[in-house]
Amino acid sequence: MPKEGIMPRAQDYSQWYLDIVQQAELCDYAEVVRGCIVFKPTGYALWEAIQRGLDDRIKATGHVNAYFPLLIPKSFITKEAEHVAGFAPELFEVTRIGTDELAEPLVIRPTSETIIGYFYAKWIRSYRDLPLLINQWANVMRAEMRTRPFLRTAEFLWQEGHTVHVDEADAERETLMILHDVYADFVEQEMAVPVIKGLKTEKEKFPGALRSYSIEAMMQDGRALQAGTSHNLGQNFARAFNISFTDQNNTIQTAWTTSWGASTRLIGALIMSHSDDEGLIVPPRLAPTQVVVVPIYKNDAEKSAVLAAVAQITSPWKGRLRFKIDDRDNLTPGFKFNEWEVKGVPVRVEVGPKDVEKGSVAVARRDMPGKAGKAFVPQAGLTERLEQLLVDIQQNLYDRALTFRADHTADVATYDDLKAQVERGFARCYWAGSTEDEQRIQDETKATIRCIPLEQPGSTGKCVYTSKETTQQVIFARAY
Amino acid sequence: MPKEGIMPRAQDYSQWYLDIVQQAELCDYAEVVRGCIVFKPTGYALWEAIQRGLDDRIKATGHVNAYFPLLIPKSFITKEAEHVAGFAPELFEVTRIGTDELAEPLVIRPTSETIIGYFYAKWIRSYRDLPLLINQWANVMRAEMRTRPFLRTAEFLWQEGHTVHVDEADAERETLMILHDVYADFVEQEMAVPVIKGLKTEKEKFPGALRSYSIEAMMQDGRALQAGTSHNLGQNFARAFNISFTDQNNTIQTAWTTSWGASTRLIGALIMSHSDDEGLIVPPRLAPTQVVVVPIYKNDAEKSAVLAAVAQITSPWKGRLRFKIDDRDNLTPGFKFNEWEVKGVPVRVEVGPKDVEKGSVAVARRDMPGKAGKAFVPQAGLTERLEQLLVDIQQNLYDRALTFRADHTADVATYDDLKAQVERGFARCYWAGSTEDEQRIQDETKATIRCIPLEQPGSTGKCVYTSKETTQQVIFARAY
């Protein structure tokens, strides 16, 4: 029986997504501010968990946080030619402060390469100041025609790293390190979402970048979602903003810069990787609440016995499990079970009068709804059992997503096969086409080259579109 | 001998402040975006420490975080009469998105009562939904005529809590709980800054509030700094945005709301409470780096012996002390001592070849510069000794600030005494004057009533200005 308020995935995946977002109370639509959403507490708690995981890795790899202005002089955006072409149509412009009309508009940052580049040019003098490794947590705004909660919103939250290096090799090392050690590591280890690391094509790269890399995840409808991007900006922004330094031979050199970002769209990736027709599923390592305890009783005598048992059972959990005791008095256990299921808490522990008698509890795992995932276990050793269960659930979610991706990825040798495959998932193929070929394929199939995977087969084959011999394989898919 | 680049406090306090901000690399001026600053890594790390301390307390008192849109329809601001009068002259207006001219401008939030009130009206149906206890971490913008790093900038970072309650008593309880358990507790315990908790006068309250409370700290020049405010908004915003609920008798009631905020100006409070002519002083509990170790050597043999000793000495510190080993090779120990002194690290540990021989180290405490604060101590038991030293420094900084405030606070009985006292600190006096009297005093002395302290003497006396008999004492001071 489908859950109230949630469209089954098989019937309408797009509506299912909107229903999960609504029913799990992740966000609200801010219809009064075009294209914006409110991050409700349950949704924002996911973002806080994502922030923690990314911030730890960003700092562990030698970066520090800073904060640059929200507003950017509009002229800054126009200093890098590709950059302005990419962002000008999407800018929110401030033209008035109080009663003052501004001579030059300020724009709300769509991304901060330009304003940060301006300051870096002031701060950097010598090779001794490099590498400069700074990250910023911020809100940004880009006008969007079609919005979708978390995936595409006018305002979103993200981190943007901006670094400066003495040469191309060091900038490239940084760009790839971030891709591997920050983004892929976080998304796979904490979010339990397997990713493909790869290079973007010229058509898909960041406006102003020399090379863009991304991690690409597969959603449950076979579509790709770009979950983090890392750009080697070459000397493009350094030239535009005059970021230069004196090298060891006392000659002035133009610097090399990188930028990299991951945003609140990761919440969308999380939802569409694991959740089911019952609601959200949050992987244990990321979950703000890992275990919810629901006490069950019918009268005051039962209540006091059960709550005393719950207090005793949970007393060793502090510092080991993130848990919540749902002792709300005006709601039935069934209502509570449903609420925590919809909100994706990994494990539910039920304690009733019989459990008090028998020294047992019922444990239900969210990744296996219904009887399959429910067990009656002794209270003795419960903490260790739950710790292990959380590890198992984390692994199961990752394995499931990996299996799903394998089942929905196929090597294709012909354009017809490619067309058929992108209806159901990722199409892997040899590619030697041009940007124009790529655009034609997009127009005809709605699929784009998601990336040129860093892991290549090392063999040669014929391009799926041009039939030219090549060693390069790519992934085609429809994308969010 | 004055430190290079730092004006002695006694000579020009205002310039000293700017020098500290500059020399400790806390921020840069964003002259291209009127009134804005860049939070440089050292300054932003202080904000991260402040965020952690406040966020822990906000959550421990039952609140959850959420995030609302940056932009607000301009018409929202005008819905509450006092609110619009307070904020309209300071608004940053977005009038264009891409090439679209907006029919109604959007403004960058100067504070979020209005946009949050709009959503709360949608979300709240029944008394069961209350209290609603939400906090937001965000950037806000207000045009400012005269700016000063951290203390008054066009864009600043803050947290703003917004809560909804069934009645006035519950809203008042929340407002005061935040003042005591979140703001005063954090600022006194972690920042080592003593504060006076009090009620704002009608003249000084938040535009739209029923009652505003604040914590007021004394800076080293005797001026007051408002370090956090908590407002009982009564039903003003609830009426303007129609936030109502069905009560237990099934009748519709208008809700009561509160809001409360603390911002990056706390960084300014930190600087002006503790720092000296040598640079910044950061209290140990807040310090991102509590102990810096500087190895001292003249040749490779000494270097390897010293670094081995440093590794051994610091190995038990992980998880107990936040420390940094400054092993930069191209800088002299003297340069390093100076840098960490200017940046305010609470304790410096020096390890040289003689220390390796003797099993000793030199320990220098930042709150007592020079010989007075330096001691040679055995390596054995060093971890515990440093832990205790950090506790002592924290206490010393608090005690020093408290003594300073006591020395610069006086009871005044006449207007002449008041005028003289606000030149050097806080003037405490009986007060029964009007808002007009208060304004006249401000025009004549530049001092305002900082607050009506919650702790009152319980006696009566004559108003310093009107000579009317009253039980109410207030604090007059010049303020940042």
According to DSSP, the residues that pair with B196 across neighbouring strands are B216
Q: Are A155 and B70 inside 8 Å of each other by CB?
A: yes
Q: Are A96 and B93 inside 8 Å of each other by CB?
A: yes
Chain B residues close to A155, C-beta within 8 Å: 69-71
Contacts of B8 (CB under 8 A, 6+ apart): B2, B16, B277
How many angstroms separate the CA of residue A200 from the nearest CA in chain B? 27
Nearest to A230 by CA among A166, A130, A134, A160: A160
Q: Are B94 and A98 inside 8 Å of each other by CB?
A: no
The pLDDT value recorded for residue B88 is 85
Q: Are A30 and B64 inside 8 Å of each other by CB?
A: no
Report CA torsion sign: B203, B207, B209, B214. Answer: negative
Q: Are B89 and A96 inside 8 Å of each other by CB?
A: no
The pLDDT value recorded for residue B31 is 87
Tokens of A90: 């999407």
Q: Residue A234: helix, strand or coil by DSSP?
A: coil
Rg (CA), chain A: 25
Contacts of B234 (CB under 8 A, 6+ apart): B168, B171, B209, B210, B211, B256, B257
Spacing of C-alpha A197 from chain mean position? 14
* Cα dihedral B104, B263, A141, B119 in deg (nearest 10): -60
Q: Residue A191: helix, strand or coil by DSSP?
A: coil
pLDDT tier at B269, thresholds 50, 70, 90: very high
Chain B residue with CA closest to A87: the answer is B98
B2 has a pLDDT exceeding 90: no
Chain A residues close to B45, C-beta within 8 Å: 64-65
Chain A residue with CA closest to B32: the answer is A73
Q: Confirm if A272 and A221 have CB atoms less than 8 A apart.
A: yes
DSSP A120-152: HHHH--BGGG-SEEEEEEEEEE---SS-BTTTB
Q: Are A70 and B97 inside 8 Å of each other by CB?
A: no
The pLDDT value recorded for residue A455 is 97
The CA distances from residue B381 to B18, B317, B318, B320, in Å, are 40, 11, 15, 14
Chain B residue with CA closest to A155: the answer is B69
Q: Are B119 and A64 inside 8 Å of each other by CB?
A: no
* Most A CBs within 10 Å, among B25, B32, B72, B123, to test the A interface: B32
* Most B CBs within 10 Å, among A26, A28, A33, A46, to test the B interface: A33
According to DSSP, the residues that pair with A27 across neighbouring strands are A39
Burial of B212 (0-12, 13-18, 19+ CB in 10 A): buried
Q: Confirm if A442 and A187 have CB atoms less than 8 A apart.
A: no
The CA distances from residue A256 to A110, A175, A241, B12, B250, in Å, are 21, 11, 12, 42, 66
How many angstroms separate the CA of residue B154 from the nearest CA in chain A? 10
Q: Are A119 and B36 inside 8 Å of each other by CB?
A: no
Q: Confirm if B264 and B158 have CB atoms less than 8 A apart.
A: yes
Sheet of A155-165: strand order equals A64-65, A132-141, A155-165, A256-263, A224-232, A211-218, A196-199, A448-453, A473-477, A426-430, A409-411
How far apart, in whole angstroms, are the C-alpha atoms of residue A13 and residue A21? Answer: 12
Contacts of B227 (CB under 8 A, 6+ apart): B183, B187, B193, B195, B214, B215, B216, B217, B262, B265, B266, B269
Shortest CB distance from B95 goes to which of A88, A89, A95? A95
* Cα dihedral A19, A22, A27, A28 in deg (nearest 10): 110
Chain A residue with CA closest to B157: the answer is A67
The pLDDT value recorded for residue B83 is 77
How far apart, in whole angstroms, are the C-alpha atoms of residue B465 and residue B212? Answer: 23
How far apart, in whole angstroms, are the C-alpha atoms of residue A463 and residue A414? Answer: 8
DSSP A282-338: --TTT-S-SEEEEE--SSHHHHHHHHHHHHHHHGGGTTT--EEE---TTS-HHHHHH
Burial B441-469 (b: 16+ CB within 10 A, else e): bbeebebbbbbbbeeeeeeebebbbeeee
Question: For A374-377, which contacts have Cβ atoms below 8 Å and span 24 or more sequence positions?
Answer: none
Chain A residues close to B138, C-beta within 8 Å: 139
Contacts of B124 (CB under 8 A, 6+ apart): B130, B132, B164, B243, B244, B245, B255
Q: Where are the alpha helices (DSSP H) in B343-464?
A: 353-358, 382-407, 415-421, 435-445
Q: How many CB pairs under 8 A join A and B?
A: 156
Shortest CB distance from B28 goes to which of A37, A73, A119? A119
Mean pLDDT rounded to a whole number for chain B: 96
Residue with tokens 């600190």: B425
* Most B CBs within 10 Å, among A22, A67, A164, to test the B interface: A67
Beta strands in A435-479 (DSSP E): 448-453, 461-462, 469-470, 473-477
Q: Are A39 and B67 inside 8 Å of each other by CB?
A: yes
Chain A residues close to B47, C-beta within 8 Å: 67
Chain B residues close to A149, C-beta within 8 Å: none
Q: Are A98 and B90 inside 8 Å of each other by CB?
A: yes
Q: Are A73 and B108 inside 8 Å of each other by CB?
A: no
Beta strands in A166-255 (DSSP E): 196-199, 211-218, 224-232, 244-246, 252-254
How far apart, in whole angstroms, are the C-alpha atoms of residue B468 and residue B450? Answer: 20
The pLDDT value recorded for residue A88 is 85
Q: What are phi and psi of B199, to 5 degrees?
A: -95, 140
Q: Are A64 and B41 inside 8 Å of each other by CB?
A: yes
How far apart, in whole angstroms, are the C-alpha atoms of residue A179 and residue A191? Answer: 15
Q: Are A44 and B66 inside 8 Å of each other by CB?
A: yes
Tokens of B427: 């003037």
DSSP A52-101: HHHHHHHHHTT-EE-B--SEEEHHHHTTSHHHHHHHGGG-EEEEEETTEE
Q: Confirm if A61 and A178 have CB atoms less than 8 A apart.
A: yes
How many angstroms separate the CA of residue A417 from the nearest CA in chain B? 40
How many angstroms separate the CA of residue A318 from the nearest CA in chain B? 14
Chain B residue with CA closest to A328: the answer is B128
Q: Confirm if A357 and A351 have CB atoms less than 8 A apart.
A: no
* Most B CBs within 10 Å, among A55, A94, A145, to test the B interface: A94
Q: Are A47 and B39 inside 8 Å of each other by CB?
A: no
How far apart, in whole angstroms, are the C-alpha atoms of residue B201 and residue B189? Answer: 27
Residue with tokens 């945003």: A263
Q: Are B90 and A96 inside 8 Å of each other by CB?
A: no
Q: In this predicted model, what pLDDT tens digit does every residue of B37-54 receive, in sequence order? A: 999 999 999 999 999 999
Chain B residue with CA closest to A71: the answer is B33
Tokens of A385: 């059992």
* Most B CBs within 10 Å, among A65, A70, A142, A158, to test the B interface: A70
Chain B residue with CA closest to A90: the answer is B98
Chain A residues close to B108, C-beta within 8 Å: 70, 94, 108
Q: Confirm if B398 and B195 have CB atoms less than 8 A apart.
A: no
Q: Confirm if B129 and B163 have CB atoms less than 8 A apart.
A: no
Nearest to A43 by CA among A27, A55, A58: A27
B288 has a pLDDT exceeding 80: yes
B84 has a pLDDT exceeding 90: no
Q: What are phi and psi of A179, to 5 degrees?
A: -60, -45
Rg (CA), chain B: 25
Q: Are A97 and B143 inside 8 Å of each other by CB?
A: yes
Nearest to B105 by CA among B78, B80, B138, B125: B78
Nearest to B281 by CA among B347, B187, B221, B215: B347
How many angstroms separate the CA of residue A475 from the nearest CA in chain B? 33
Q: In this predicted model, what pLDDT tens digit does every residue of A319-371 receive, in sequence order? A: 999 999 999 988 999 999 999 999 999 999 999 999 999 999 999 999 999 89
Mean pLDDT, range B291-310, rounded to an integer? 97
Helix axes of A265-274 and A382-407: crossing angle, nearest 10 degrees = 90
Contacts of B466 (CB under 8 A, 6+ apart): B432, B433, B437
Chain B residues close to A28, C-beta within 8 Å: 119, 122-123
Q: Are B92 and A91 inside 8 Å of each other by CB?
A: no
Chain A residues close to B34, C-beta within 8 Å: 97
pLDDT tier at B1, thresholds 50, 70, 90: low
Q: In this predicted model, what pLDDT tens digit does every residue of B155-202 receive, in sequence order? A: 999 999 999 999 999 999 999 999 999 999 999 999 999 999 999 999
Spacing of C-alpha B340 from chain mean position? 23
How many angstroms separate the CA of residue A98 from the nearest CA in chain B? 4
> What value, to the nearest 5°, has the Cα angle with vertex B426 and ends B423 and B428?
125
Q: Are B30 and A93 inside 8 Å of each other by CB?
A: no
Q: Confirm if B206 and B192 have CB atoms less than 8 A apart.
A: no
Q: Are A67 and B28 inside 8 Å of each other by CB?
A: no
Contacts of B19 (CB under 8 A, 6+ apart): B5, B6, B7
Chain A residue with CA closest to B90: the answer is A98
Chain A residue with CA closest to B108: the answer is A94
Q: Are B330 and A128 inside 8 Å of each other by CB?
A: yes
Spacing of C-alpha B400 from chain mean position? 18
Q: In this predicted model, what pLDDT tens digit does every residue of A41-75 receive, in sequence order? A: 999 999 999 999 999 999 999 999 999 999 999 99
According to DSSP, the residues that pair with B30 across neighbouring strands are B36
Shortest CB distance from B106 goes to which of A33, A41, A91? A33
How far apart, in whole angstroms, are the C-alpha atoms of residue A440 and residue A446? Answer: 9
How far apart, in whole angstroms, are the C-alpha atoms of residue B178 and residue B137? Answer: 16
Helix axes of B265-274 and B382-407: crossing angle, nearest 10 degrees = 90
How far apart, in whole angstroms, are the C-alpha atoms of residue A345 and residue A24? Answer: 11
Q: Are A38 and B66 inside 8 Å of each other by CB?
A: yes
Residues of chain A with pLDDT under 70: 1
Q: What are phi and psi of B33, to 5 degrees?
A: -125, 100
